[in-house]
Structure formats: structure tokens, C-alpha cells
């Protein structure tokens, strides 16, 4: 077997540990792929915004609900990666093709349901929200087009997660960035309205996103089908019926999906609190949230890599290997997020200036960014800890932890600090600091409890 067809080896306490190499080789491309997912929305906003501020409003309103549904749906598919990693660790790599085939069917049904819900219900809901100035009329067709694009992106993501579990993260990274290039080119061609097609503005951008996600799906399909190991892994063979395996895949996904939805809802509430304070606070919080989301891609990539290696060791029954993989994920997360904290602390003024020319908002943003460095490490550790637990099929405790930390603690604290105590955006940041520390502590405590026999 060639090196190109060799997966990352599972960590084993009985073997010479391979160090941080497997973690870094998998985490690096995953980080880049997650940044690529974010970049698509950023490109849409920038191109449409330069075309028309009004169209940018339509694009933002159309994008927001699809982003929430996409994030939640991606959580539902996380069982594909967990079960694939565990099967490899158990020496059942030949069964992973069946896991993929079941996962693709699951992704198809999820994407159709999500697309139909947004396509038919999204517009009426926006019209009932009482949006001003015809915003609902302009945003509805954008929302409908973007809802259709959920089908190719979710099916493609299912394949990408399966490849990552096999240690093949680079093809997914290449696919997502090629689709970004396609998205940029189509945006620049279609959005101004002189392409020869009867579309322009936000609607044209929506079609560009749809087409680029089709390209992403096609590339993932080509990679999987063209992989020399696909036949031996069972990818090209119909999956046998296995209700227990299907139920387990869904069970893992339910927990992860609830966690993602909980966090999304909690951070959305922070934006509402900022809106209750004032326009400058909204702009400041939006910048802090955008910077934090970009930074979060680093520990998110580490969490995927850590989860894959933990899952393999868990599947092999090697609890010492589980601890070793998680410890390396923990250490690397702390090291990288600390470096990021230093960079943000030293460059907070420059970052704020890059987002706005308003001196008042600049000053508020710089101060909030400096304070936000106190939660980057904890926020990174909580996502890595959650994935280390899920990789051992521990699903509902991480979900309950996120519910308690972000809904029961962060939301009330955000309102109390920012509005009742008058701390403004800094109050919102303090609530995130407390919630992240709580979540990280609980999740890593849970991980230590699960692996106490290997201590």
C-alpha cells in the first residue's frame, strides 16, 4: 500500500507514540477547510455590499437563517465521523463504506427537509417579523435560493467528514477553496447585473453560492469514488441494513446538533442585547464576534483531529491512548490560542481600525478585543473537550454542559452585565468569559471521569 493510501495511525499506549505529527497533519487542513466555509459568506457580503447597501441587507437577511440551519444540520452529521474513527480503531475499516453510505442517505433527507422548511416557511416568517422598507420582499428570494444550496453542501460535508476520519483532510480543504474561487468569480460576474442573465445583487450572489456548493459536492464525490481504497472499504457496495448502527449515528448527531444550536442561539441573544444598547454597541459586538469566529476555526480544527484520534483509540479499547490523544489536543490548543491571544492583544487597535473608521467604535472595539483574549483559550478548550467526549460516544453530557453554560449562565449574565450594570459590550464579553470557563472545566472534568480507569 502506498503512503498516499495510508491513514493516520491510531495512537496506542503499546506502540511508540507518533508525537504531535498526526494531530497537526489532520488539524492543519481541517482548520483551512473551516476557514473556507466562513470565507464563502464573507465574499458574498463584500461583493454584494460594494454593489448596493440595500442588496447587502437582503443578502444578510437571507444568509442568517440558512447559516443557523446549516450549523445545526452539520451537527446532525457528526456521527459519521465518530463512528468511522471508532470502526478504524476497532480494525473494521472495511465497514466504514457502509457508514458513509448510510450517512449520505441521512444527509440527503436532512438537507431536503431543511431546504423545504426554509424555502416555504422562511419568507412568510420574515414578513410576519415586521421588517422595514420591503426588506422581507427582497430577502425572500435570496433565502429560497440559499435554502436550495443546503442540499449539495450538506451531502458534500458528509463525505468530507468521512474522509477526515480516514486522515484524508487535504482533499476536502482543496474542494472547499476551489468552490470559494468559483463563488468569487461568479459573484464578480453576476452581481453587477451585466452578465446577460436576468439576475443581479443578492439574488445573483445566492445563485453563485448554489453553483459553488455544487462544485464542492462534485469534487468530494470524485475524490471518494476515485480513491484506490474505496472498493475495499465498501464504498461501492450497498450498505447492509443495520438499524442499531443507523440509530447510533443519529444519536451522536442529535447531541452535537443540540450543542451547536444552543451556542448559536446564545450568541445571537448577545447581538440582540447589543442592539438594545445602541448602534455603536451593535457594530462593536459584530466585530468582536467576527474576529472570535475566525479565531475559533483553529481550535475547531484541532477538535476534529483530536476527536478522530480519540475515536480510533477508543475503538481499539486503548484508554491510555484515548488520554494521550486528548492530552496532545489539550496542550496544542492551549499553546496556539495563547499565541493568538498575544497577537490580538498587541494588534487590537489595528484590528479595530481595519473594521471601522469611526473613532468611537474603534475605541470601543479595541477595548472589547483586548478583553476578549480572556476567553479564547477556554473557548478553544471547550470545543476540543466536547469532541473528545463525543468520540467516546458520550453524547448528552456535552450537550447538557453547553445548555447550562451558554443558555442558563451566559445569556442571563450578558443581560445583567451589559444592560443592568451598564457595562455595555464589555459586559457581553465578560459573560462569554464566564460561560467558556465553565464549559471547558465541566467538559474536561467529564473527560477525566470517563477515562479514570486509565489514570
Chain-wide mean pLDDT for the chain?
90
Q: What is the DSSP string of 328-386?
A: HHHHHHHHHHHHHHHHHHHHHHHHHHHH---HHHHHHHHHHHHHHHHHHHHHHHHHHHH
pLDDT at 309 over 90: yes
pTM, 2 dp: 0.87
Would you state the pLDDT for residue 131? 67
Tell me the mean pLDDT in the region 332-337.
Answer: 96
Helices (H) and strands (E) in the chain, counts: 15, 0
pLDDT digits (tens, 9 = 90+) for 53-66: 788 888 878 887 88
CA distance 383 to 379: 7
CA 185, CA 173: separation in Å to the nearest integer? 19
What are 379-417's pLDDT values in tens digits? Answer: 999 999 999 999 999 999 999 999 999 999 999 999 999
Are 322 and 310 in contact by the 8 Å Cβ rule? The answer is yes
Question: Cα dihedral sign for 165, 167, 168, 172?
Answer: positive
455 pLDDT band, cuts 50/70/90, is low
For the cut 60, the answer to whether the pLDDT of residue 16 exceeds it is no
Q: In this predicted model, what pLDDT tens digit does every residue of 20-76 receive, in sequence order? A: 888 888 899 999 998 888 888 888 888 888 888 788 888 878 887 888 889 899 999
Instruction: Please compute the mean of the pLDDT values over residues 213-239 and round it to a whole number.
Output: 96
Are residues 202 and 62 in contact, defined by beta-carbon separation less than 8 angstroms?
Answer: yes
CB 309 within 8 A of CB 23: yes
Domain limits, the chain: 17-240, 253-455
User: Is 23 within 8 Å of 304 (Cβ atoms)?
Assistant: no
What is the secondary structure of 141-197 as a DSSP string? HHHHHHHHTHHHHHHHHHHHHHHHHTT--HHHHHHHHHHHHHHHHHHHHHTTS-SSS
Average pLDDT over residues 296-324: 93
Amino acid at each position: 500500500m502506498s503512503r498516499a493510501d495510508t491513514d493516520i495511525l491510531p495512537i496506542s499506549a503499546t506502540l511508540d507514540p507518533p508525537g504531535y505529527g498526526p494531530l497537526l497533519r489532520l488539524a492543519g487542513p481541517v482548520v483551512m477547510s473551516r476557514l473556507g466555509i466562513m470565507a464563502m459568506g464573507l465574499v458574498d457580503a463584500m461583493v454584494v455590499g460594494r454593489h448596493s447597501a440595500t442588496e447587502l441587507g437582503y443578502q444578510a437577511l437571507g444568509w442568517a437563517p440558512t447559516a443557523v440551519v446549516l450549523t445545526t444540520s452539520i451537527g446532525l452529521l457528526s456521527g459519521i465521523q465518530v463512528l468511522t474513527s471508532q470502526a478504524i480503531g476497532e480494525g473494521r475499516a472495511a465497514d466504514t463504506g457502509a457508514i458513509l453510505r448510510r450517512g449520505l442517505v441521512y444527509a440527503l433527507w436532512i438537507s431536503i427537509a431543511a431546504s423545504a422548511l426554509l424555502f416555504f416557511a422562511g419568507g412568510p416568517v420574515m414578513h410576519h417579523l415586521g421588517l422595514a422598507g420591503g426588506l422581507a420582499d427582497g430577502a425572500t428570494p435570496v433565502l429560497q435560493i440559499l435554502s436550495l444550496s443546503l442540499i449539495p453542501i450538506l451531502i458534500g460535508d458528509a463525505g468530507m467528514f468521512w474522509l477526515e476520519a480516514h486522515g484524508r483532510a487535504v482533499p476536502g480543504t482543496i474542494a472547499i477553496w476551489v468552490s470559494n474561487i468559483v463563488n468569487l468569480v461568479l459573484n464578480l460576474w453576476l452581481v453587477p447585473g451585466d452578465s446577460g442573465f436576468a439576475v443581479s445583487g443578492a439574488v445573483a450572489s445566492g445563485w453563485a453560492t448554489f453553483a459553488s456548493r455544487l462544485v464542492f459536492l462534485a469534487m468530494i464525490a470524485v475524490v471518494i469514488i476515485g480513491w484506490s481504497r474505496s472498493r475495499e472499504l465498501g464504498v461501492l457496495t450497498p450498505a447492509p441494513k443495520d438499524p442499531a448502527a443507523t440509530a447510533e449515528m443519529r444519536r451522536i448527531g442529535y447531541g452535537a446538533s443540540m450543542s451547536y444550536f444552543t451556542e448559536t442561539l446564545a450568541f445571537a441573544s448577545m447581538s440582540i442585547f447589543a442592539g438594545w444598547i445602541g448602534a455603536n454597541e451593535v457594530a462593536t459586538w459584530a466585530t468582536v464576534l467576527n474576529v472570535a469566529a475566525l479565531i475559533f476555526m483553529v481550535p475547531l480544527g484541532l477538535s476534529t483531529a483530536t476527536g478522530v484520534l480519540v475515536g480510533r483509540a477508543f475503538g481499539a479499547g486503548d484508554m491510555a491512548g484515548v488520554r494521550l490523544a486528548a492530552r496532545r489536543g489539550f496542550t496544542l490548543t492551549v499553546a496556539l490560542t495563547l499565541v493568538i491571544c498575544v497577537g490580538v492583544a498587541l494588534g487590537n487597535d489595528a484590528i479595530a481600525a481595519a473594521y471601522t473608521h469611526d473613532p468611537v467604535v474603534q475605541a470601543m472595539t479595541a477595548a472589547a478585543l483586548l478583553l476578549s483574549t480572556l476567553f479564547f483559550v477556554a473557548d478553544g478548550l471547550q470545543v476540543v473537550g466536547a469532541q473528545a467526549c463525543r468520540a467516546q460516544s458520550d453524547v448528552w453530557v456535552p450537550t447538557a454542559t453547553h445548555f447550562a453554560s451558554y443558555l442558563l449562565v451566559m445569556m442571563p449574565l450578558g443581560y445583567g452585565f451589559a444592560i443592568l450594570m451598564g457595562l455595555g459590550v464589555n459586559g457581553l464579553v465578560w459573560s462569554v468569559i464566564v460561560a467558556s470557563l465553565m464549559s471547558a472545566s465541566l467538559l474536561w472534568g467529564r473527560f477525566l471521569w470517563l477515562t479514570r480507569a486509565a489514570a
